[in-house]
Amino acid sequence: MITFIVRRLLGAVLMLLVVSMVTFAVFFLVPRIAGQTTDQLAAQYVGRNPSAAQIHATEIKLGLDKPIYEQYGRFLKGIVAGADYNDGPDVSHCPAPCFGYSFKNQEPVWPQMLGALPVTGSLALGAAIIWLVTGVGIGVLSALRRGTVFDRAAMSVALAGVSLPIFFTALLSLAIFRDTIPLFPDAATWIPFSTDPGRWAEALVLPWVTLAFLYAALYARLTRAGMLDTMNEDFIRTARAKGLTERQVVVKHGLRATLTPIVTIFGLDLGLLIGGAVLTETAFSLPGLGQFAVNAIINQDLPEILGVTLLAGFFVVAANLIVDVLYAVIDPRVRF
């Protein structure tokens, strides 16, 4: 078990390294191959109408004149140990993990991302709880009542949930529950949990439900299909033959087997979302990682794009790792 986790951990680190290399290459190597000079690269960091001296100073400061592998080493070192930028007269220190400074406001990237993380985290975790409970619950009931009015209605709603885009349901819910009926007047604002937990939750209800609707629909369909499969398994017949009540058969034997693959998908979905729920955050004006990424791309803010890509990559890799380890725990047939 320990060796398995260590092996997986090393694999995850390697994976992140590859992700960082590819992203770094996209932003620093490809422009050079495409024929950009280091001066042109450095010019992006300086501002409008810079002087040749400013550009040159920046080039030295960021090490753009150095060979690419040295730059990459510097970039990695910045993330792990922090970096010092030689500004000529004084040296500015960027503490680890250092993703550099934003083009737009000259702020270090990492604290900005750190500030956005609780927003995305609140959104993703809250929605995840809602969609897991409702999705799995509806899926199980649908499977057990297959072909009934409940099943048909639930699956129709689920189809709608999967098909409707977030920006549509988000705006619809805002129009109805904030503007027409002012049930959630704070929706589409961000109130930190530490400020007021009650208003934090109230402001997040609509984003949670909107995001959860999409995933709950997906999970209901997955659970229903899995449950229908499982309930036809031989071991379910065995469970009944033992004299278990139908409820025990469904919960202890049916659900246990159905949930295993669901847990896997759940972990991956959650990892992906924490890296930025782009559409939901944009629709509800939540200053999370998704919105941060969108703004970074719009502003062509290289250090920010690089940082948010790596962070999102980190969450996906971490989710994969956790799911792998968890899977070995819940499915005894998986051995290391």
Give least dist CB 6 to another protein, A.
24
Give least dist CB 157 to another protein, A.
20
* Residue 163 structure tokens: 């098909």
Give the residue with the Cβ less far from another protein, 20 or 230: 230
* Binding status of residue 323 toward another protein by CB under 8 A: no
* Binding status of residue 263 toward another protein by CB under 8 A: no
Give least dist CB 235 to another protein, A.
4
* Binding status of residue 256 toward another protein by CB under 8 A: yes
Q: Using DSSP, state whether 85 is helix, strand or coil.
A: strand
The position carrying tokens 């549509």 is 168
Span interacting with another protein, options 39-47, 205-213, 247-255, 270-278, rule CB under 8 A:
247-255
Residues whose CB is less than 8 angstroms from the CB of residue 166 and which lie 6 or more positions away in sequence, other chains included: 210, 211, 214, 279, 280, 283
Give least dist CB 223 to another protein, A.
17
How far is the C-alpha of 158 from the C-alpha of 304, rounded, in Å? 37
Span interacting with another protein, options 104-112, 179-187, 204-212, 244-252, rule CB under 8 A:
244-252
Query: In angstroms, what CA-CA distances link 267 with 90, 272, 289, 319?
Result: 46, 9, 19, 6
* Residue 208 structure tokens: 């949670």
- Contact (CB, 8 A) for 126 and 119: no
How far is the C-alpha of 231 from the C-alpha of 225, rounded, in Å? 10
Give the residue with the Cβ less far from another protein, 39 or 331: 331
* Binding status of residue 144 toward another protein by CB under 8 A: yes
270 membership: H or E segment, kind and range: helix 256-274
How far is the C-alpha of 96 from the C-alpha of 84, rounded, in Å? 10
* Binding status of residue 260 toward another protein by CB under 8 A: yes
How far is the C-alpha of 129 from the C-alpha of 205, rounded, in Å? 12
Q: Using DSSP, state whether 92 is helix, strand or coil.
A: strand
Q: Which of 41, 128, 257, 302 binds another protein (CB under 8 A)?
A: 257
Give least dist CB 156 to another protein, A.
19
* Binding status of residue 145 toward another protein by CB under 8 A: yes
* Binding status of residue 233 toward another protein by CB under 8 A: yes
The position carrying tokens 């896997």 is 264
- Contact (CB, 8 A) for 283 and 171: yes
* Binding status of residue 70 toward another protein by CB under 8 A: no
* Binding status of residue 239 toward another protein by CB under 8 A: yes
* Binding status of residue 235 toward another protein by CB under 8 A: yes
* Binding status of residue 148 toward another protein by CB under 8 A: yes
* Binding status of residue 189 toward another protein by CB under 8 A: no
What residues line the site for another protein (CB under 8 A)? Answer: 144-145, 148, 233-235, 237-247, 250, 252-253, 256-257, 260, 330-333
